[in-house]
A and B are shown apart, each in its own frame.
Chain A
Amino acid sequence: MSLSNLIKNWSTLRVKRPYEDQYKDKDYKWAMVIDLDACTGCNACTTACYAENNLPVVGKEAFSKGQAMHWIRIERYWGEGDELPKFPDRGAQFLPMLCQQCESAPCEVVCPVGATHHTPDGLNSQVYNRCIGSRYCSANCPYKVRYFNWWQYPERAWPNPLEQQLNPDVTVRSKGVMEKCTFCVQRLVEAKNRARTEGRRVEDGEVTTACAQACPTSAITFGNLADSKSQVAKMWERQQVDLAKDKQEKSDENMRGYRIFEDLRTYPSIVYMERIRDLQA
C-alpha cells in the first residue's frame, strides 16, 4: 500500500472499530486463544519466535536495560494482589504476553506516520520502512509488547554463519525502527496466496503461528475468527467472548475466557482462558 493509497483510504482505515459483525462477511480475522491452565511457562514458544521471526539476540548488557526483543515473553507473577505470599503454594502464575492485535489499538492512533495500522484481516501491522522511531506507539501500548531497535542489530546479532539461519520471508530490522509480534504474517500471506490461487479460503489448521506450532501442551490455538467453523471461532463462542464488546455478558460464569485490560477498550484479538487450581489440594 502506497502513501497515496493510505491518504485515499483514510476514512476506511480510521473507522471507529470494532463494531458488531465487522468481520461477518469478510474472509479473514486472525485471532488466538491461550489456555493458561495448559501453559507450563516452558519458553518453547519464545524460542520458536526467535527462530521464525529473525529476532536479534541483544546480549547481556542490552538485556539488563530491558532492550530484549522477545515478541512473545512469559511473564511470571507470584500473587494476584499486592502482597507477596510467604510461599507460592499454588504454583507460579505464567502469562505468555504478545501483541494482542487490538481491534481498537492504542498504538495505531498515535503513530505520526501511519507506520502502524490495521489490516483488512484484522492485524495490527507494523510497516518498518515507514517507521521513524518516534516510539509513541510503545508508550501508548498498555501491554508493553512493542520493541524498539536501539542498536543496529544486523551488524552484531548474527556473526557468520549465524545469518544463514535467518528466515528469508521476514525482514531483518535496522536501528531506529519499532517492531512487534505479527501473528507470523509471512505464514499468513503464503497461506492466503495459496488458497486464493486455488480459489478457496484458507482452511482451519492450514496455517498457524510459530508459537502455537511449537507449544508442547497445545496451549495456544490460532485461527480465523471470520470462519465460524474454525476451532478458534468455536472457542471464542463457547467462552462467550465477543470481539466487539468491552464487557462480556456471560450466561455461563464457568467459562474461563477473558481478555486482558478489556476495560481499556482495546478489544484484543487474544482470549486467555483462566488458569485452574484445585484449591482442595
Chain B
Amino acid sequence: MSSSKIDRRDFLRVLGISGAAATLAGCGNTSIESGAELVESFVQPEDFVVPGVGVYYASTCAQCGSGCGVMGRVREGRVLKLEGNPKSVISGGKICGLGQAAVQVHYNPDRLTKPMLREGDALKAVSWEKAMGVLTARLGSGSSLTGEQIAFLTGEVSGHQKVLLANFLESFGSTNHVVYDALSPAVGHEASKAVYGVEQPVLQIDKARLILSFGNDFLGTGPSPVHMAAQYARFRKAPRGTLIQVEPRMTLTGANADRWYAIRPGTEGVLALGIAHSLLQHPEYAHSISQELAAALKPYDKETVAEITGISADAIPHIASLLWEKSPSLVLSGPSAEGHVRGFSNATAIHLLNLILDNRGKTLQGQANHPFPQLSPVSGSYAALTRLNQAMSAGKCQALLIAGCNPAFTAPTFVPFASNMSKVPFKVAFTTQLDETARQCDLVLPLLSPLEDFGTHVAGYQPAGVELMIQQPLMEKLYPETKGFGDILVDLLKQRKPDAYKAFPDYYSYIKTAVLKAKPVFKSKESDDNFWEDALRNGVLDLDLPAAQIDAKVSAIKVGAPQAAETGMQYPFYFVPSVRADLRDGRHANLPWLQESPDPLTSVAWDSWVEIHPTTAVQMQIREGDVLEVQSTTGSVRAKAYLFPGIQPDTISMPLGQGHTGYGRYADGIGVNPFKILDPNFEEQTGELAMYATRVIIKKTGENAKMVKDEGPTTLQQGRKLVVTMAADQAELAKEITRVAQ
C-alpha cells in the first residue's frame, strides 16, 4: 500500500478476505453515495453477527398453545421480527398477527425488570438474592408444606417446564398442578372423548368437501389457527370445498363461510339432531344408527327444530342434502355451542352427524400415539380453578405459585379468587409483566421473555405425527435481573432434591440432556453434539407417525325430547361474549400492535363495544355510539353500541380481553371486562362455566360517543366493485395458477 488512501479492495486483501467472502460486502457496485451499495462494517464483533445483515434463528412462538415454529430475525444482537419457520409442520413457514406481536412482549416498556417483594400494601423492588432467599425460606429444603397446602396455578404448559413443575410439586408430596384456562375447551374435549375416545381429534380440513361448523372458529381462535389456515387454503382450491357456519355471532371463520346461519344461542344441538333426522330420510344413512336412536330423533322434525333454533325449516333438509351430496364432509362443534348448560349434549349431537356421515378416518382422525405424553399439556379448565378457590377459601392453601394466567382478571365475579388469595399466606407470581393477579402476590419474580429463554414445547394439537418444538434465545437478555422459569424451577429442585438435580447447572443443561435422551426415538445416527445443534438450527424435531383410529361410541349420545332455549322476560337478551384472535382472554391486551389492530368484523380498535343487530337497534331506537348499560344478574358494564348484522337478533355480544386495571399503559383504562358480568350457569355434565349462557338486559344511558373504528361512513360497496364475488360453479380453479398445492 504505497498510497495513504486505502480503498476497499486493498482493505479486503489485507484482511485475507477474498472470493466468496468478499462478495458479502457487495463489491462491484458503483458507489456508496448512490445508495446502491450496502454499507457494512468489517469489524465483526461475534460469531455469526455481520453488522448490517439480518440472521435468522429458529425458535418457538409462545403466544398461544399452538406451538408454531418461528424464525427470529436478529441484527446487531437485537431481535427485530418473527417469521414462520418453514421446517415446522405446525406453522408451515407462516405466522399470525398474535405471533408477530411476540417481539412486543419482549420489548414492552412495562416489562418487569426486578423481583418485587411485598412490604405492607406495596410491592417493592428487591435484589434477586433477597427474592430467592424469601422463596427458598418458604419453599426450599426446610419447607414442611405438603399435599394440598401448596398449589401451582398455571395456564396451558407443556414440554420440560411441565415435567419440572410436576417434579417440584412431587417433592412436597403434591400433585396440585392447577391448569386454568379462562377460555377452557374442556366441554368440547370431554364430548370428543365420550364419542371418539380422544379429546382432540385431528381435523383434515383440506380433505373435506363440505364443512358444517357449529361456532367452531378454527381460523381465528381454534387450537392451531395458522396450521388450520394453511389447510383451509387447500380446502378452497380445486375441487373447492364449501363451508357452512352456524353460530349466534359471526366469528372470523363464519365471515368466510359460503353460507352463514344465525342461530338462537344454546340450540345448536337441536339443529344438529334435526339435520340428523333429515339425513336418515336418505336411504344411504337410514341404517347408520340403531333403531332406538333413530326413534329418539323422531320428534326432531324440521318444523319443531325451526321453531326452537330460529333457523328456517327449509334450511334443515337443505343442509342435510348438501352433506349427502358432498362427501367426505366434516362437522365441527365449537365454543359457542358448548358453553351452555346443555353444552355437552349439544357437542355430542353435533358429533353424531360425523358418525352418520361416516367421516371417521376420512376427515377426522386420532392424533398419533407419540412417545412424549409426559410433555403434552394438560388442558385447562374452569373446574380446576373453582377447586383451588374452595381450598383457598377454607384456608387449606399455604403457598400458591402462579404462572401464565391471570385469574384476578378472568375469573367471574362469583368466584372471588382475588379476595380468597388474601387467605393464602405466601403467593408467588412468575411473570414478564405485572398484571392484576401478580399485583396481589407477596413475591413477583421477573421472567425472561420467551425470546430470551430456552424451552421445549409439545402442542396439545398435533396435526401430523408429533413435533417437539425447541425454543432458544434470540438475543441476550435485556435486563440482568430477570430469569427463566425453567431456571428458577431447577434452582428450587436443587434445594428440594439435591442428588437428582446437582448435575444440572441450569435449565439449558437440563433440557439438552433430556432432548438428547430422546435421540433414539428420532432414529438419528448423528453424534450428540450434531443432533443438538440440528435441533437448535431447525427449531423442530419431527416424528412421522401414523394417525390413530378413533372410536364411534354412539351410546355416549343421549337424545332427549327437544328443549327450547330458556327465555326470560326480565333479561330478554342472550349474551354471547366474543373472543378476539389477538387479545384472547386479555393476556395480550398489553401489546400496542394488537390494540391498534382493528377487530376484523367490526373494525373497532382500542375499545370495548356492544354488538346489536340493526333491526333490534331500530326497534329500541339505538344508534351507533349510544352508550349502553349491559346488565346481568351478576353485574353490569357500559360500552358503546355497534350495529352489527352478523348476530342473532335476540343476542348481544361483547368482546373479551379489555378492561384491565393493572396491566400496563397499553391495556389499562381501555374498555370493560365482560368476564365480570357472566352469570353462574354451569354445563350440566362437566361442571364447566357455561360462558355463553348469560342473559342480560340493556339500558340506554343517554350518552353517545364516537366509535373508535377504522371503517368509513359506509359498510357497503355501493356498486364500486371493490370485492367482486364469483359463483363457485363458474370459477375454474383447476385452470388457475396457484402457489397452494391443490
Contacts and interface: CB of A to CB of B under 8 A. Distances in A.
Given A161-B107, A193-B36, A276-B240, A42 B96 contact: yes
Interface stretch (A73-81, A100-108, A132-140, A171-179): A73-81
A40 B256 contact: yes
B278 to A, nearest CB: 16
Nearest to A219: B233
A278 interface: yes
B75 A193 contact: no
B259 A214 contact: no
Interface in B627-654: 645-646
A256 interface: yes
A281 to B, nearest CB: 4
A200 interface: no
B211 to A, nearest CB: 11
A125 to B, nearest CB: 12
B4 interface: no
Interface string B68-92: 0000000110111111100000000
B478 interface: yes
A114 B219 CA distance: 44
B739 A44 contact: no
A93 B723 contact: yes
A260 B737 contact: no
A51 B81 contact: yes
Given A60-B708, A63-B606, A162-B104, A91 B592 contact: no
Nearest to A82: B718
A86 B615 contact: yes
A60 B595 CA distance: 9
B56 to A, nearest CB: 12
A5 B250 CA distance: 55
Interface in A214-255: 214-219, 221, 231, 234-235, 238-239, 252-255
Given A76-B715, A84-B645, A38 B29 contact: no
Contact of B97 (A42, A63, A75, A79): A42
Contact of B736 (A47, A59, A255): A255
A183 interface: no
A28 B520 CA distance: 50
Given A47-B97, A279-B728, A91 B260 contact: yes
A218 B594 CA distance: 21
B721 interface: yes
A71 interface: no
B594 to A, nearest CB: 7
A94 interface: yes
B83 A277 contact: no
Contacts of A115: none
B252 A40 contact: yes
A112 B736 CA distance: 43
Given A93-B717, A278-B242, A165 B80 contact: yes
Contacts of A58: 596
Contacts of A165: 78-81, 103-104, 106-107
Interface residues of A, number: 93
Contacts of B97: 42-44, 46-48, 214
B598 A41 contact: no
Interface stretch (B20-28, B435-443, B546-554): B20-28
Interface stretch (B223-231, B301-309, B465-473, B508-516): B223-231
Interface in A31-82: 35-38, 40-44, 46-48, 50-52, 57-60, 63-64, 68, 70, 73-82
A231 B740 CA distance: 12
B101 interface: yes
Contacts of B665: 159
Interface residues of B, number: 109
Given A60-B607, A86-B615, A196-B29, A217 B260 contact: no
B646 A168 contact: no
A142 to B, nearest CB: 10
Interface in B596-622: 596-598, 600-601, 603, 605-607, 614-615
A159 B478 CA distance: 15
B260 A89 contact: yes
B661 interface: no
A124 to B, nearest CB: 18
A42 B707 CA distance: 21
A278 B593 contact: no
A42 B29 contact: no
A275 interface: yes
Contacts of A48: 81, 95, 97, 100
B740 A38 contact: yes
Contact of A81 (B82, B220, B716): B716
A66 to B, nearest CB: 8
A164 interface: yes
Contact of B94 (A59, A194, A214, A276): A214
A17 B253 CA distance: 41
A182 to B, nearest CB: 14
A22 interface: no
A224 to B, nearest CB: 15
Contact of A77 (B598, B717, B732): B717
Contacts of A59: 596, 606
Contacts of B80: 51, 165-168
B719 A214 contact: no
A190 interface: yes
Given A59-B606, A217-B232, A40 B219 contact: yes
A82 B260 contact: no
B710 A281 contact: no
Contacts of B733: 276
Contacts of B670: 60
A278 B81 contact: no
A258 interface: yes
12 contacts: A35-B738, A47-B594, A51-B103, A76-B603, A77-B723, A164-B78, A165-B80, A193-B38, A214-B83, A214-B100, A216-B226, A277-B728
Interface of B: 23, 26-29, 36-38, 52, 75-76, 78-84, 94-97, 100-101, 103-104, 106-109, 219-220, 225-226, 229-230, 232-233, 236, 240, 242, 244-245, 250, 252-262, 322, 478, 581-582, 592-598, 600-601, 603, 605-607, 614-615, 645-646, 665, 670, 706-711, 715-733, 735-740
Given A59-B596, A167-B80, 15 more contacts: A42-B219, A44-B97, A51-B100, A60-B606, A78-B715, A88-B250, A95-B722, A162-B107, A165-B79, A168-B75, A217-B229, A217-B232, A238-B736, A255-B732, A256-B736
3 A-B pairs with least C-beta separation = A216-B229, A47-B97, A60-B606
